[in-house]
C-alpha cells in the first residue's frame, strides 16, 4: 500500500515538474498558462514530494523535492530580474495611473467603477473591456476631459484611456492578428516632462501563436517612442513567461519588486499578476498597489505612482 501511494505521488509530481521544466526547452504556446504558475506549481510539487517522503523514504522523493525547490527559487530569481531599485519615499510623484480590466459584461458595476475612477486621484486611467462604463462617459469626462477609445479612434469600446491633461497625438493600433484595436499610444505632458503611454490588452497565451505575434508588435513599437515610457494593461500572463521576459529584457522595462496578484480574484493575494504596469527609465515606479475591490470583474485593478530621474 505504501509503495502504491508513493508511486501515485511520484507520477503526479513528476508530471507537474516536467510541464514547468519545459520552459527551459521551448516556449510552446499550449504550456504558457502553466509557465505563469511556476512558483505555485513548484510549491505544490514540493509539498507533494514531502508527502511522498513521509509515506516512503526513497531517493526519488528527494530528487523530486530538490527539483521542486530549484524551480521555485529560479522563479523568484526571474521575477527579481525586472525589479527596479526602490524609490526614495521623499521623491515627489510625477503622476498617478490606474489600469483596470473591468470585464466586458460587468454592466451592473459600471457606475461604481466610474465613481472609483473619479475618486482615485489618477491622472491617467486605463479601462479595458470598457463597455460597462460607456454610459458613464459623460460623467467621467467632467474629471477626465481628454480620452481615446470608445468612439474616439475606434468604434469598439474595448480599450479606453482617460486623462486629466491633453493627450498628444493619441492613436490606436491592433496587436497581432486576432483582435482589433487593443493598443493605444499617447503622450501626456506633466509639467514639462513628456511621458509616452502604451496601453495593451493581449490575448490569452494559449491561443495558438497569436500571443507571440502581439509581443512582437509591442517590441517593434516601443523603440519608436523615445524617452519616458509606460507599458500597462492586461497581459494574461505573468512575467515568468519567456515571451514577456524577452520583451522586458530587450526593451528595458522594469516593475516593482513584488507585483500585486490580479487574477484569479478568488485567490486574492495568492493569485498571479497578469495585469502589469511597466516603466522605462528615466521613469520609475514609486509604488503599485492593487485596488481592494474587484467591482464584479474577474481581475483586480492597479494604481501606480511614478517619479522621474532628474
CB-CB contact of 69 with 97 (8 Å):
no
Decide which of 301 and 156 is more confident.
301
Decide which of 77 and 150 is more confident.
77
Separation of alpha carbons 303 and 75, rounded Å: 25
Going by their DSSP bridges, the two strands 124-128 and 302-308 should be labelled as unpaired
For all residues of the chain together, what is the average pLDDT? 92
Query: What pLDDT is recorded for position 303?
Result: 98
In this predicted model, what pLDDT tens digit does every residue of 20-30 receive, in sequence order? 999 898 877 77
Query: What pLDDT is recorded for position 232?
Result: 98
What percent of the chain lies above the pLDDT cut of 70?
99
Coil vs helix vs strand at 190? strand
Decide which of 178 and 284 is more confident.
284
DSSP 101: E
The CA-CA-CA angle for residues 226, 239, 282, to 5°, reads 25
In this predicted model, what pLDDT tens digit does every residue of 135-180 receive, in sequence order? 999 999 999 999 998 877 677 788 999 999 999 999 998 898 878 8
Q: pLDDT band at residue 246, thresholds of 50, 70 and 90?
A: very high
Separation of alpha carbons 281 and 221, rounded Å: 17
Query: What pLDDT is recorded for position 7?
Result: 84
In this predicted model, what pLDDT tens digit does every residue of 114-137 receive, in sequence order? 999 999 999 999 999 999 999 999
Decide which of 59 and 274 is more confident.
274
Separation of alpha carbons 268 and 118, rounded Å: 24
Q: Averaged over 33-50, what is the pLDDT? A: 94
Query: What pLDDT is recorded for position 153?
Result: 65
Instruction: Classify the C-alpha dihedral 17-22-27-31 as positive or negative.
Output: negative
Q: pLDDT band at residue 70, thresholds of 50, 70 and 90?
A: very high
CB-CB contact of 29 with 206 (8 Å):
yes
Which of 186, 180, 188, 272 shows the shortest CA–CA distance to 217? 180
Q: Averaged over 85-114, what is the pLDDT? A: 93
Query: What pLDDT is recorded for position 293?
Result: 94
Query: What pLDDT is recorded for position 29?
Result: 76
pTM (whole model) above 0.85: yes
Q: pLDDT band at residue 72, thresholds of 50, 70 and 90?
A: very high
Query: What pLDDT is recorded for position 263?
Result: 95
Q: pLDDT band at residue 89, thresholds of 50, 70 and 90?
A: confident
Q: Which three cell numbers stand for residue 22?
A: 519545459
Amino acid at each position: 500500500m505504501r509503495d502504491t501511494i508513493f508511486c501515485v505521488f511520484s507520477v503526479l509530481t513528476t508530471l507537474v515538474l516536467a510541464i514547468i521544466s519545459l520552459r527551459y526547452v521551448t516556449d510552446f504556446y499550449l504550456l504558457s498558462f502553466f509557465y505563469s504558475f511556476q512558483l505555485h506549481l513548484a510549491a505544490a510539487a514540493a509539498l507533494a514530494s514531502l508527502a511522498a517522503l513521509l509515506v516512503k523514504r526513497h531517493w526519488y522523493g528527494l530528487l523530486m523535492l530538490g527539483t521542486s525547490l530549484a524551480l521555485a527559487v529560479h522563479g523568484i530569481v526571474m521575477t527579481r530580474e525586472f525589479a527596479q531599485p526602490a524609490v526614495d519615499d521623499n521623491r515627489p510623484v510625477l503622476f498617478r495611473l490606474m489600469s483596470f480590466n473591468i470585464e466586458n459584461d460587468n454592466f451592473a458595476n459600471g457606475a461604481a467603477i466610474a465613481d472609483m475612477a473619479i475618486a482615485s486621484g489618477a491622472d491617467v486611467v486605463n479601462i479595458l473591456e470598457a463597455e460597462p462604463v460607456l454610459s458613464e462617459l459623460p460623467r467621467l469626462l467632467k474629471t477626465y476631459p481628454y480620452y481615446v477609445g470608445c468612439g474616439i479612434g475606434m468604434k469598439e469600446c474595448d480599450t479606453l484611456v482617460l486623462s486629466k491633461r491633453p493627450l498628444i497625438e493619441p492613436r490606436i493600433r491592433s496587436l497581432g492578428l486576432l483582435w482589433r484595436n487593443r493598443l493605444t499610444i499617447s503622450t501626456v505632458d506633466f509639467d514639462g516632462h513628456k511621458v509616452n503611454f502604451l496601453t495593451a490588452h493581449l490575448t490569452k497565451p494559449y491561443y495558438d501563436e497569436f500571443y507571440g505575434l502581439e509581443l512582437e508588435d509591442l517590441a517593434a513599437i516601443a523603440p519608436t517612442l523615445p524617452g519616458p515610457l509606460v507599458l500597462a494593461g492586461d497581459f494574461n500572463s505573468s512575467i515568468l513567461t519567456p515571451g514577456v521576459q524577452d520583451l522586458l529584457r530587450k526593451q528595458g522595462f522594469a516593475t516593482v519588486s513584488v507585483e500585486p496578484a490580479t487574477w484569479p480574484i478568488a485567490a486574492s493575494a495568492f493569485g498571479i499578476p497578469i495585469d502589469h504596469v511597466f516603466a522605462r527609465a528615466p521613469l520609475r515606479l514609486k509604488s503599485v498597489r492593487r485596488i481592494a475591490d474587484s467591482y464584479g470583474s474577474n481581475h483586480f485593478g492597479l494604481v501606480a505612482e511614478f517619479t522621474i530621474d532628474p
